[in-house]
Structure formats: structure tokens, C-alpha cells
Chains A and B, each alone.
Chain A
Amino acid sequence: KNEVEQSPQNLTAQEGEFITINCSYSVGISALHWLQQHPGGGIVSLFMLSSGKKKHGRLIATINIQEKHSSLHITASHPRDSAVYICAVLFGNEKLTFGTGTRLTIIP
């Protein structure tokens, strides 16, 4: 069964802290997406990964294909980073399978 597990479910941190969100999946994948959903509901695609590491500003995403694991890191976190972060995986060429999301709150 194609499964995606995400942790933690909730994360509260102080402004400036280094944040890590984890995603594990059950079988081989074609691609993994990290998504950001703000309180208004709209979803922004942050990264798409098939291997290695990507960086955009303060955000870094890594994936380990052998361990079937990906992490999203936020450096120098800021209150505006507060959102729900969702890991979504493409198994083969099928539909995206979503993790349950991580609700991140950054306190000033």
C-alpha cells in the first residue's frame, strides 16, 4: 500500500529557530512535493524532489531515496513561516498521496 507519514503533526518554535519536518514513504516514488498551506487555504508548491537537495531562500528540502525519507528545513524561522506544511508523494505516475500535514507556529 502506498503510504506517506509525516512528523511532527504540530510544531511550535521561537522565532529564529531551525525547523525540521520529516516525511517517510512506503515504496519507491517518482517525485516528492513539499507544499505550504496558509490559514486562508491556498496551497503553494515549495519544492519538487526526485533526488538530492534543493534550496530556496531559507528553505531547504532533502530526499534520501534509499531510506525513503525526505526532510524540509527552515532556517532562521519567522512568524510568517507559520502555516501547514504538507508532504505529497507521486507513486509511479498515479495521483498524489498526501501526508497529514505539519502545523507550524513560529512565536515572535
Chain B
Amino acid sequence: GAVVSQHPSWVICKSGTSVKIECRSLDFQATTMFWYRQFPKQSLMLMATSNEGSKATYEQGVEKDKFLINHASLTLSTLTVTSAHPEDSSFYICSARTGGFGYTFGSGTRLTVV
């Protein structure tokens, strides 16, 4: 089946640095990728929708200059958390449409900013 590979699984970074998270579709072309954030014991919150070759669409309240999304190819979308702060510590996960109404999810990235 369709698989999305997400890296890294976890990352610890210092406050003020930037972190890049990658999601790759391994056996299909992902024209649309979704990026979510999840706080402990809460559900997924959509941050942005990225489309290959165009600018991402951000949800209300999500800072596009802080969470940079690049979807330069049909198999790769990246989320860069710029100038990370402790409040950015969270679980980030991507998903992609797999055709029809199907979705597949990455394994997630746990970000800790110290």
C-alpha cells in the first residue's frame, strides 16, 4: 500500500535554531500533503496543506513564517520550524491523499526544544 516515510522520528534542538522535518511518499506521487500538530492527549490539528509546486495553504492562527512548508516534488514535502522555542515542542505528523478518499500518514516527529 501507499507509504509515507517521515524523518526524523524525534529531534531535540536548542531554542533559536531551526529544524526540518521531511515526508516522502515512497511508492506513489503525493500531489497534496497535510501537516498536523498534536499536543499530548489531544487530537490532530491541521496546520497547513501543501500542494506540489505551489505555496502552502495555512490554517488560521498558524504562522507561515515560522512553519515553512516546501513541496518541491511529487514525492517530498518538508516542514521547517524556524527559530524554534520551547512552546513549539510538540508531535508533528504528515499525511497524503492516496487516491479517491484515501489517506496515509507518516510516523510522526516528536520535537523537543530546550
Q: Which B residues are in CB contact (< 8 Å) with A99? A: 43
Shortest C-beta distance, A72 to chain B (Å), equals 16
- Apart from the given pairs A33-B103, A42-B106, A96-B46, 17 other A-B contacts in the complex at a CB distance below 8 Å: A30-B101, A35-B105, A40-B107, A41-B108, A41-B110, A42-B105, A43-B105, A45-B105, A50-B101, A86-B43, A90-B101, A95-B46, A96-B34, A96-B95, A96-B103, A98-B43, A99-B43
Is B58 in the interface zone, CB < 8 Å from A? no
Q: Which A residues are in CB contact (< 8 Å) with B107? A: 40-42
Give the interface SS of chain B, mostly helix, strand, loop or mixed. Answer: strand
Complex Cα–Cα for A95 and B100 (A): 13
Is B12 in the interface zone, CB < 8 Å from A? no
Shortest C-beta distance, B80 to chain A (Å), equals 20
Q: Number of contacting residues on B, CB 8 A?
A: 21
Is A100 in the interface zone, CB < 8 Å from B? yes
* Given A43-B105, A45-B104, A101:B43 Cβ within 8 A: yes
Q: Which residue of A lies closest to B110 (CB)?
A: A41
Write the residues of chain B forming the contact surface with A, with a CB cutoff of 8 angstroms. Answer: 34, 38, 41-44, 46, 49, 91, 93, 95, 100-108, 110
Give the interface SS of chain A, mostly helix, strand, loop or mixed. Answer: strand
Is A31 in the interface zone, CB < 8 Å from B? yes
Q: Which A residues are in CB contact (< 8 Å) with B101? A: 30-31, 48, 50, 90
Task: Report yes or no: B108 in contact with A43, Cβ–Cβ below 8 A.
Answer: yes
Task: Report yes or no: B34 in contact with A95, Cβ–Cβ below 8 A.
Answer: yes
| Chain B CB within 10 A, most for which of A33, A41, A98 | A41
Complex Cα–Cα for A86 and B45 (A): 13
Complex Cα–Cα for A42 and B93 (A): 8
Is A44 in the interface zone, CB < 8 Å from B? yes
Shortest C-beta distance, B46 to chain A (Å), equals 6
Question: Can you offer 7 A-B residue contacts whose CB atoms are under 8 A?
Answer: A30-B101, A41-B91, A42-B105, A43-B108, A48-B102, A95-B34, A101-B43
Complex Cα–Cα for A40 and B8 (A): 13
Task: Report yes or no: B46 in contact with A43, Cβ–Cβ below 8 A.
Answer: no
